[in-house]
Amino acid sequence: MRQKLSAFAAPLLWAGLLALTSTSIAQAQTPSAARSPLGWQACQALKADPAAQLACFQQWADAQTPANMPAPSLTTAPANPATGQPATPVLLLPSLNTEAPDGKPIGCKNTKYSELSRFWELQRGTDCDTFSLRGYRPITLAVSTSDSVNMQPSSPSLGHTALTAQPYMRTENKIQLSVRTKIAKGLFKNGPEDDDDHDSLWFGYTQQSYWQLFNGSISRPFRTTDHEPEVLYIYPHQIPLAGGWTYRLSGLGLVHQSNGQSLPLSRSWNRVYLMGAAEKTLGQDSGLTLQGRIWDRLKESSGNDDNPGIENYIGRAEVTGSWQVNKANTLGITLRHSLRKEARGSARLDWMMAPASSPNYTGLRYHVQLFSGYGDSLVDYNRKRTVLSVGLSLVDW
């Protein structure tokens, strides 16, 4: 009797197992089942039927692949000329969500998007997430020479004029460090699609130093160092303008700048600014950007003002234009103006050229800069001078 029952039960058990397997495979094709370990376990149970097990694993593997990831492809490696061995097929797996060899997220490096969109991460497709460190202004190491050097800085404030002159040289090293990070995103504007605009909040820090490296007679001091932290909110736009231009962003910022010195060389000021930027695409690797800023100095009491009237020298507004000539060359101009009858300010010309060896994967540039006007450094805010700098810069990496 038991033998008859066993003979009868075996087909039923086998049929139940097949039904369970079919159900598991069907579940594995759904997103929820694809993430469950039961899918591959069900396939493992089909050891007795290799063909069915292979088909099961194939269906389970297909369910794990995201819908937007390209399928693996086969290519043929070239034959080895030394050995004469025939070419062999090579499996090319789908690429990860990266562009550069160092594994950076493709978002803010995705050349599908415009220069301004990548720089300020204006769209969801250019997002590189919060609290990732990015370049801001160029990180520069250069040799600078000028028509004059301020050996005895002065200010109208009482006790803010150097008592003795220092024998500074007109040729010195210029060092600039500048970084930023996005601290919030999608506050008021966001969307699920890659082309949707996202607003953002940033923190930036820039430090610029002039180092008397060649002045061994006074022990090669740092002549001056300026510190500039700021907080900036960016609101994106996609507004068509005349001539093929597009207005891309508006911004509101708060910036502090000081040289960290004690009296009589202490210099500092605070300001709030509005900014806007537009761009125009000229070709695949060529384009124009135009950015404007206007600011208002936050008032200080006369007893705390290190540099009265600084805005009458450095200016109250600036306009920056940039021409991406091609993948390797960029030209830029920055103009500042006091917006007063007694016009003061400055002009700065920049030429950056990428090394021919690696223009695509690094931000390294040869950098030539010519500055003329007021405010090249805080200690020189009320002294006009012309400075030529030649060196290397690292732009947003």
Round to whole Å and give the CA distance between 36 and 331. Answer: 55
The DSSP letter of residue 46 is T
Alpha helices in the chain (DSSP H): 2-28, 31-34, 38-44, 50-64, 115-120, 311-314
Beta bridge partners of 323: 288, 331
| Same-domain status, 39 and 175 | no
Residue 180: closest CA among 98, 255, 290: 255
Residue 115 forms part of a structural domain: yes
| Same-domain status, 41 and 120 | no
Q: Which residues contact 2 (CB under 8 A, 6 or more apart)?
A: none
CB 137 within 8 A of CB 131: no
| Same-domain status, 368 and 302 | yes
Round to whole Å and give the CA distance between 105 and 61. Answer: 25
Beta bridge partners of 210: 174, 224
Residue 258 belongs to domain with CATH number: 2.40.230.10
Round to whole Å and give the CA distance between 238 and 231. Answer: 23
| Same-domain status, 253 and 361 | yes
Residue 331 forms part of a structural domain: yes
CB 125 within 8 A of CB 113: yes
Residue 185: half-sphere exposure toward Cβ, Cα within 13 Å: 20
pTM for this prediction:
0.74
Residue ranges of the chain with per-residue pLDDT less than 70? 1-39, 65-105, 358-361
DSSP E strands in 212-363: the ranges are 222-240, 246-258, 268-283, 286-297, 317-324, 329-337, 345-353
Residue 87 forms part of a structural domain: no
| Same-domain status, 55 and 170 | no
Please tell me the predicted confidence (pLDDT) of residue 93.
Answer: 43
| Same-domain status, 57 and 112 | no
Round to whole Å and give the CA distance between 347 and 325. Answer: 21
- Domain end (from 11, 43, 63): 63
| Same-domain status, 198 and 281 | yes
Q: Quote the tokens at residue 331.
A: 């030209």
Please tell me the predicted confidence (pLDDT) of residue 350.
Answer: 98
| Same-domain status, 159 and 231 | yes
Please tell me the predicted confidence (pLDDT) of residue 26.
Answer: 42
Please tell me the predicted confidence (pLDDT) of residue 256.
Answer: 98
Domain count, the chain: 2
Please tell me the predicted confidence (pLDDT) of residue 178.
Answer: 98
| Same-domain status, 169 and 226 | yes
| Same-domain status, 43 and 114 | no
Residue 134 forms part of a structural domain: yes
Q: Where in the sequence is the domain holding 261, given as residue range(s)?
A: 107-394
| Same-domain status, 167 and 315 | yes
| Same-domain status, 123 and 11 | no
Please tell me the predicted confidence (pLDDT) of residue 302.
Answer: 86
